Structure 1
């Protein structure tokens, strides 16, 4: 098992956010976490990324315990966090600059076409559309030497058309950059379209209400449009938790 989260427990100011939350993610699997607003979805990613060290429970990668900031995880938040005074090439190569690895810049240049950024190497973030900025942020994340990508609603700030285009783009990249990925999203369609499995969380304190296995599905927009029954099932679960 690539990632194992066991009996995760976290409280803020006496309020229990996560209580004995456990799940596993297989090697190269894409897993989405869905849940009501404020249930602790992003908190889980912050714990894995080492941002929140004060928790009870165990996190393991490849069977070894992981604590704090780790080389195993690369984190991409909703906001692209591009540095406006640096070029796109400089932005996506920051990992190499920090770790004194010149090969990262060369890898970035080789990937600009794949990420739809060819010709913008010397441009500044202000010249890019919202979708292109997110592609740059994703390229920067993918260049980190990490086993597991943590994506926190990366397309949530985009309009619906651009978001759908970014989902199509990410799905097309999965066969080439087939890395273990944990996605937090509030978008049911996005979770269904991109995921091998979906974990649906309860409201605070969080626990897993249901797991949906989609590994045998061949994904397309037509397939997604036909999933009205499954979407309603998920919606009813989330709606029930919002009123809990």
Structure 2
């Protein structure tokens, strides 16, 4: 959530949009809807490709925490502009599609009816979608007023991006670094086959476990030099940067 909020600030988007993945996926990057939308931001294949997300047999950009978030912010920015800076219409279009919302607006216009979100004839899911986000915003904004106790999110980055020179196997990195394979997979779910072949060439790791990763990288480097593993499983760290500063 910290990473997403930082990105929203950089794109001059409302901070409340950080709550959107709660509705879309419950913040689960491997979530799949009944309509086959995937990821934190629930991209359909065509929309994903329109916003530069790669979809291959070994890598699904819709499940990439960084790439999908960047794509979602570009998409939300475009929708906001397309619907005359009306966030309710933009969010409705994010859920139902631009065409669905545009046709409903035009139908109301022909009948002389209001064309704001609340007066449009939209799919039932979309009719509930925007109110759900507004309700979440109210709950998070004043939790005590609703008898809710929310745990604060630390105002600091949780993970870091490590640039890779060669493809790496997540199981091997887990064995050499001591970072659990489950945690590596949780932060890097876009790598469908458990290795970084075909992806953006970086690995996300918890900042708090950087020292473990460094030890693992060193161990892999020594093994590679000894010839026990081919370069396809050799890893060289060329840059480590906190993701929000990218």
Answer with 1 or 2: which has the greater Rg: 2
Q: Common fold, TM-score beyond 0.5?
A: no
Which structure has greater strand proportion?
1
Higher helix share: 2
- TM-score normalised per structure 1: 0.29
